[in-house]
């Protein structure tokens, strides 16, 4: 049995997940999904920045389009850290395809940055 | 002098939301004045996710959330000016602002929505003992350097205060290669949201020292060392409990304060939140001047900010159109036992519908009732199994409970066993 | 060989330099910090004392009174804020009333206008003062002064008139040579005919480099609170309490920028580099201050700081040639009322002591005025527009708390006196001095300094050696 704090939303429900993966303490269904995955295959959305050329700022914020395996966070950072992009860039533009080899999960831009 | 219907001070989430809501309520002559070089305000540097679950039913990062509201304002062709700091405001709603393109401008507005957000409490404000070298800075400052400019402010970092930005920065700096040695929190509980405790501290094995504060900073040019101490019930360091950390950076996440000088300087009374006192329509003591968002009281979630600003935008529109319902403001709302502040400061006893009250508790409690008393008489109580200071409470009271009675409404917390 | 080397660019060194710049001399100021006025001249009470207090006949009395009389002109020429709001020396206990009479007599002898006010008169002009007040001595010629620009603008003026300055060089040895002195710093060796020792806290160390001395300088620390400026007036005069058993000398005053200062404490410290503040000391400052002015709005506190007074063992200013050499001049122990005395000291040192050992020829290009600093926030709408039309950067506010524009920052960085640090820029322009303490503007300011000096942001210092703000670029491998 594990006690967890749900991170799906700021409410932060206190969950209990038993050995049969039954989740209690959740306020909404997302808590059940989170509880199960946190015990079996914990994942996180990674947010960071990449270098951008030709815009007002040096950095463009990015995120993984879906949560990636928790164990892949620093590997994901290594991939992100190598990238340099050119302005303009728009929210949702794919920066890295299939990050850390996770099929269908991309690193995408999260800010509209125009060329100056 | 140029005349407009509505001037909005601040082009962050609150200002944009108020503008959109006023527009949708029929106002076309709107000007947003944003001090920074972009619309969206501080959200632009909050690149982490967790925004928008209430508003958009999805999890967005700060810049994505901002972009949605920027788009809404732009779709409506709402006028805005960037790099425009409002330097003065009069009771007659004449405001002066300045930017490089237009120069110094005075405009007279029929209504004003104050949406200037908040600022971070600094090291000086809490008089951190010891030296004052480089390397002591606020979480927001560190965030701007890192997320927008690509600079690290330190490699070995200690964090004072468990506010959300501090926790977020603990994770950000760890991901970017810094060693975060720990977080000290003066209170016996965390002041950040639970989810941030998990995904920012626990995920990276960053220790949290509750009931601790920084009792000494040392370093000549650059910070070299911080000492933390456990604190007693009076929040004073207890000798003999010192722990020393060799670090080059102390990041502060010790609270946010409403950036409300313009309204304070008009003599508008301040509430306990340090924002202006307002009524249910978020109108201050000067008719036609409204306040919303973090300049009114510091919110937990941006979703709540935009919702509040919608109320202010709509109320400002009704004021301009002359369709506003009369508000008596005959009930003064005050924070009672264990309550930090309550917004609004006034509600009207008459009228239909509900009065929405927002407040924060002073410390975490279990099994308590939120008790509402009007002139000493209990009119409602709500049971809460858990209530914590990091979350803002939003509660609605049916006005029928007031029975048309004027006076003082007190919001208090009472332990279950003490309730008769 | 240089004509003159001035060691130290505090207020005293600054005004010696300015007085010297009237003449055609080859003079160099050597400053160990990275900015002028970076030690005692920066962290003090920012008061221009009237001169009622020093014992008549002392150097303190003479230079204070003279300096105060010079101050209107000096501040006009150097574009420095001086608010002659008057000082009130306050009696809170009946037994202090005779002391007011005593001080009034001193003021009369020193030639300083003053007036004893009754309780009612004091409360009428300072409504927030304790209702226990028994009376006060009003000195209308005292007031607040901006210590940062006083020092910086005096140096700027001296540099405009031809003097030179070096920063980050600490004098490590001085040797008597034929016709003058050899001055060795941490970076260079200079030869000069005259040395003026204005090294503040370290002036005894400098003096000892050429001869044994029978005086010494001790650091006496004072800790202060700074409150934000706010629209409602709080106190209008500089309020000093008379010393009593409960404490001495915690003043409450507005500053020239509308902030409020509460302090200082007084504590001897061994380490002349110890600028740390401490919780118990500040709590005591607060307690004493609230005896005189209850309800000080400490929730408006934005900063605390500590300054070190350069207190001489002789209890009076030391302004004289060294015993062995008439061309080695010590100007030491300039503690309070040193700030206000500095223009008078500067003039005396040059006209009496330097002139005695060096022929002084008028500088034909001498201009006592500096180019005024535009302060956009204080202009009318029309004036702002005229200015912004010429230079749009005056329409771009960088520091929102203090309403400092990009134009003002660029102006400060274009002067003869360089801006070497974020703190220097803060002292010149007030950018970062407000309630957020640079929380919002520091990243912008840092980049402006880097751009102006043609250096990387990684090299921009907050203040002294090793005080860089950002220390590494992230994602370098992406470049």
In this structure, what CATH number is given to the domain that contains residue B374? 2.60.40
Q: Which two tokens stand for residue C309?
A: 């007074």
pLDDT for position B325 = 85
List, for residues B238-259, the tens digit of each pLDDT value: 999 999 999 999 999 999 999 9
Query: Among B206, B236, B254, which residue terminates a domain?
Result: B254
Average pLDDT over chain B, rounded to whole? 96
Q: Which residues of C are catalytic?
A: 49
B261 inside domain: yes
Which DSSP category does B7 fall into?
E
Residue contacts between A and B (CB atoms, under 8 Å): 83
**Cβ distance of C477 and A81 shorter than 8 Å:** yes
Q: Are residues A32 and A51 in the same domain?
A: no
Portion of chain B with pLDDT greater than 70, in percent: 100
Long-range contacts formed by B366-371: CB under 8 A, 24+ apart: B367/B415, B367/B416, B368/B413, B368/B414, B368/B415, B368/B416, B369/B413, B369/B414, B369/B415, B369/B416, B369/B419, B370/B395, B370/B411, B370/B412, B370/B413, B371/B336, B371/B411, B371/B412, B371/B413, B371/B414, B371/B419
Please give the backbone phi and psi of residue C159, each rounded to the nearest 5 degrees, phi first.
-70, -40
Of A49, A80, A84, the CB nearest to C479: A84
Which residue segment(s) compose the domain that A80 sits in? Answer: 47-109
Domain boundaries, chain C: 83-142+218-312, 376-478
**Stretch C338-362: mean pLDDT:** 98
**pTM for the whole thing?**
0.95
Nearest-Cα residue of chain A relative to residue B203: A70
Q: Per-residue pLDDT for A12 more than 80?
A: no
How many structural domains does chain A have?
A: 2
Q: In this structure, what CATH number is given to the domain that contains residue B202?
A: 3.50.50.60
List, for residues B29-49, the tens digit of each pLDDT value: 999 999 999 999 999 999 999
> Is some CB atom of chain C closer than 8 A to the CB atom of B248?
yes
Greater confidence, C283 or B418?
C283
Q: How many residues does chain A have?
A: 116
> Is some CB atom of chain B closer than 8 A to the CB atom of A26?
no
Q: Are residues A29 and A79 in the same domain?
A: no
Q: Per-residue pLDDT for C368 more than 70?
A: yes
Per-residue confidence band for B420, with pLDDT thresholds at 50, 70 and 90: low
**Stretch C328-339: mean pLDDT:** 97
**Stretch B208-217: mean pLDDT:** 97
Point out which residues pair with B334 in neighbouring strands: B410
List, for residues C111-153, the tens digit of each pLDDT value: 999 999 999 999 999 999 999 999 999 999 999 999 999 999 9
Q: How far is A38 from chain B (nearest CA, A)?
A: 12
How many structural domains does chain B have?
A: 3
Q: Per-residue pLDDT for A1 more than 60?
A: yes
Q: Are residues B247 and B264 in the same domain?
A: no
Q: Per-residue pLDDT for C247 more than 60?
A: no
Q: Per-residue pLDDT for B392 more than 60?
A: yes
Q: Are residues A66 and A23 in the same domain?
A: no
Portion of chain C with pLDDT greater than 90, in percent: 97
Q: N- to C-terminal Cα distance for chain B?
A: 62
Average pLDDT over chain C, rounded to whole? 96
Q: Are residues A35 and A78 in the same domain?
A: no
**Cβ distance of A57 and B64 shorter than 8 Å:** no
A105 inside domain: yes
Query: Among B198, B233, B254, which residue terminates a domain?
Result: B254
pLDDT for position C246 = 62
Rounded to whole angstroms, the Cα distance separating C473 from C461 reads: 16
Torsion of CA C129, C132, C136, C141, to 10 degrees: -10
Q: Are residues B137 and B203 in the same domain?
A: yes
Q: How far is A12 from chain C (nearest CA, A)?
A: 30
Superfamily of domain C83-142+218-312: D-Amino Acid Oxidase, subunit A, domain 2 (3.30.9.10)
pLDDT for position C119 = 97
Q: Are residues B132 and B218 in the same domain?
A: yes
Please report residues of C whose CB lies closer than 8 A to that of A84: 478-479
Q: Are residues A57 and A19 in the same domain?
A: no
**Stretch C281-296: mean pLDDT:** 95
Of B47, B59, B197, the CB nearest to A49: B47
Q: Give the number of other CB atoms < 10 A from CB of residue C355.
A: 12
Nearest-Cα residue of chain A relative to residue C477: A82
Which residue segment(s) compose the domain that B147 sits in? Answer: 122-254
Per-residue confidence band for A10, with pLDDT thresholds at 50, 70 and 90: low
pLDDT for position C8 = 98
Q: Are residues B309 and B270 in the same domain?
A: yes
List, for residues B73-113, the tens digit of each pLDDT value: 999 999 999 999 999 999 999 999 999 999 999 999 999 99
**Stretch B274-301: mean pLDDT:** 97
Q: Are residues B248 and B287 in the same domain?
A: no
Q: Per-residue pLDDT for B381 more than 90?
A: yes
- Which helix (H) or strand (E) segment is C66 a member of? helix C59-78
pLDDT for position B358 = 98
B326 inside domain: no
Distance of CA B236 to the CA centre of its chain: 27
Q: Are residues A14 and A66 in the same domain?
A: no
Question: What are the C-alpha distances in Å from C454 to residues C414, C446, C457?
Answer: 13, 12, 9
A55 inside domain: yes
List, for residues A23-76, the tens digit of each pLDDT value: 999 988 989 999 999 999 999 999 999 999 999 999 999 999 999 999 999 999
List chains touching A (3+ CB pairs under 8 A): B, C
A115 inside domain: no
Q: How far is A22 from chain B (nearest CA, A)?
A: 21
Q: Per-residue pLDDT for A108 more than 80?
A: yes
**Stretch B202-231: mean pLDDT:** 97
Q: Are residues A56 and A102 in the same domain?
A: yes
**Cβ distance of A50 and C475 shorter than 8 Å:** yes
Q: Are residues B165 and B228 in the same domain?
A: yes
List, for residues C415-424, the tens digit of each pLDDT value: 999 999 999 9
Question: ipTM value of the model?
Answer: 0.94
**Stretch B150-158: mean pLDDT:** 97
Q: Are residues A102 and A65 in the same domain?
A: yes
């Amino acid at each position: 049995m594990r006690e967890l704090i749900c991170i799906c939303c700021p409410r932060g429900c206190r969950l209990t997940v038993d050995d049969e993966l039954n989740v209690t303490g959740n306020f909404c269904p997302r808590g059940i999904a989170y509880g199960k995955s946190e015990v079996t295959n914990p994942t996180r959305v990674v947010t960071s920045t990449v270098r951008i050329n030709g815009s007002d700022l040096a950095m463009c914020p990015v995120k993984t389009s879906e949560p990636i395996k928790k164990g892949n966070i620093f590997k994901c950072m290594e991939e992100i850290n190598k990238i340099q992009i050119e302005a303009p860039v728009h929210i949702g533009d794919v920066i890295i395809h299939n990050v850390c080899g996770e099929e269908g999960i991309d690193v995408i831009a999260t800010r509209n940055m125009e060329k100056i | 002098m140029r005349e407009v219907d509505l001037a909005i001070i601040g082009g962050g989430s609150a200002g944009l939301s108020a503008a959109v809501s006023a527009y949708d309520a029929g106002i076309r002559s709107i000007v947003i004045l944003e001090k920074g070089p972009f619309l969206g305000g501080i959200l632009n540097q909050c690149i982490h996710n967790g925004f928008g679950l209430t508003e958009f039913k999805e999890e967005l990062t700060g810049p994505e959330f901002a972009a949605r509201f920027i788009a809404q304002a732009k779709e409506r062709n709402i006028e805005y000016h960037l790099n425009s700091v409002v330097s003065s405001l009069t009771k007659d709603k004449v405001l002066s602002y300045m930017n490089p393109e237009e120069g110094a401008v005075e405009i007279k507005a029929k209504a004003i929505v104050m949406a200037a957000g908040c600022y971070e409490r600094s090291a000086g404000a809490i008089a951190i003992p010891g030296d004052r070298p480089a390397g002591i800075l606020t979480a927001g400052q560190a965030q701007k350097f890192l997320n927008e400019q690509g600079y690290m402010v330190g490699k070995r970092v200690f964090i004072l205060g468990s506010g959300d930005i501090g926790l977020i920065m603990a994770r950000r700096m760890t991901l970017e290669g810094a060693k975060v040695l720990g977080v000290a929190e003066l209170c016996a509980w965390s002041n950040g949201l639970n989810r941030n405790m998990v995904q920012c501290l626990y995920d990276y094995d960053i220790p949290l020292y509750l009931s601790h504060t920084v009792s000494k900073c040392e370093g000549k040019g650059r910070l070299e060392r911080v000492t933390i101490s456990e604190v007693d019930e009076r929040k004073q360091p207890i000798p003999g409990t010192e722990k020393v950390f060799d670090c080059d950076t102390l990041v502060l996440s010790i609270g946010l304060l409403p950036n409300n000088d313009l309204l304070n300087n008009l003599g508008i009374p301040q509430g306990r939140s340090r924002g202006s006192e307002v009524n249910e329509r978020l109108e201050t003591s000067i008719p036609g001047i409204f306040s919303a968002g973090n300049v009114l009281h510091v919110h937990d979630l941006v979703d709540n900010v935009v919702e509040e600003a919608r109320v202010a935008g709509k109320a400002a529109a009704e004021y301009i159109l002359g369709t506003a319902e009369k508000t008596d403001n005959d009930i003064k709302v005050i924070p009672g036992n264990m309550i930090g502040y309550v917004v609004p400061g006034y509600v009207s006893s008459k009228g239909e519908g509900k009065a929405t009250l927002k407040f924060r508790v002073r410390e975490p409690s279990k099994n308590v009732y939120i008790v509402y008393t009007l002139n000493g008489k209990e009119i409602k109580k709500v049971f809460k199994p858990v209530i914590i200071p990091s979350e803002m409470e939003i509660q609605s009271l049916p006005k029928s409970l007031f029975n048309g009675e004027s006076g003082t409404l007190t919001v208090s917390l009472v332990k279950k066993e003490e309730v008769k | 060989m240089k004509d003159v080397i001035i060691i130290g660019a505090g207020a005293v060194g600054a005004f010696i330099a300015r007085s010297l710049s009237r003449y055609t001399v080859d003079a160099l100021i050597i400053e160990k910090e990275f900015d002028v006025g970076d030690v005692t001249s920066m962290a003090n009470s920012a008061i221009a004392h009237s001169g009622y207090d020093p014992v008549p006949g002392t150097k303190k009395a003479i230079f204070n009174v003279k300096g105060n009389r010079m101050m209107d002109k000096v501040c006009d020429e150097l574009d420095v804020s001086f608010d002659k709001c008057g000082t009130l020396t306050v009696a809170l206990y009946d037994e202090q009333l005779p002391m007011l009479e005593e001080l009034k007599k001193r003021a009369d002898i020193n030639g300083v206008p003053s007036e004893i006010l009754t309780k009612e008169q004091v409360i009428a002009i300072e409504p927030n003062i304790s209702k226990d007040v028994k009376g006060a001595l009003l000195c209308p010629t005292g007031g607040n002064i901006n210590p940062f620009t006083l020092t910086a603008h005096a140096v700027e003026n001296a540099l405009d008139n031809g003097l030179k300055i070096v920063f980050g060089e600490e004098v490590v040895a001085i040797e008597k040579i034929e016709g003058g002195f050899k001055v060795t710093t941490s970076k260079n060796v200079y030869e000069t005919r005259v040395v003026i020792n204005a090294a503040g806290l370290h002036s005894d160390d400098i003096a000892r480099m050429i001869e044994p001395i029978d005086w010494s300088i001790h650091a006496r620390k004072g800790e202060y609170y700074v409150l934000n400026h706010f629209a409602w007036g709080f106190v209008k005069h500089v309020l000093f309490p008379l010393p009593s058993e409960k404490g001495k000398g915690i003043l409450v005053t507005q500053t020239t920028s509308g902030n409020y200062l509460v302090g200082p404490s007084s504590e001897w410290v061994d380490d002349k580099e110890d600028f740390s503040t401490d919780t118990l000391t500040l709590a005591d400052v607060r307690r004493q201050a609230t005896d005189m002015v209850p309800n000080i709005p400490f929730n408006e506190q934005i900063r605390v700081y500590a300054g070190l007074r350069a207190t001489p063992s002789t209890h009076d200013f030391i302004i004289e040639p060294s015993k062995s050499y008439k061309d080695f001049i010590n100007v030491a122990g300039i503690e309070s009322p040193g700030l206000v005395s500095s223009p008078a000291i500067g003039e005396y040192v040059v006209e009496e002591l330097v002139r005695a050992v060096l022929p002084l020829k008028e500088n034909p290009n001498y201009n006592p005025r500096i180019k005024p600093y535009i302060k956009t926030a204080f202009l009318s709408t029309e004036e702002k527009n005229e200015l912004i039309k010429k230079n749009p950067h005056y329409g771009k506010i960088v520091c929102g708390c203090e309403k400092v524009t990009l134009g003002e920052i660029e102006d400060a960085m274009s002067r003869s006196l360089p801006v070497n640090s974020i703190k220097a820029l803060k002292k010149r322009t007030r950018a970062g001095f407000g309630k957020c303490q640079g929380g919002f503007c520091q990243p912008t300011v840092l980049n402006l300094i880097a751009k102006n000096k043609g250096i990387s942001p990684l090299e921009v210092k907050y203040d002294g050696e090793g005080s860089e703000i950002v220390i590494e670029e992230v994602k370098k491998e992406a470049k």
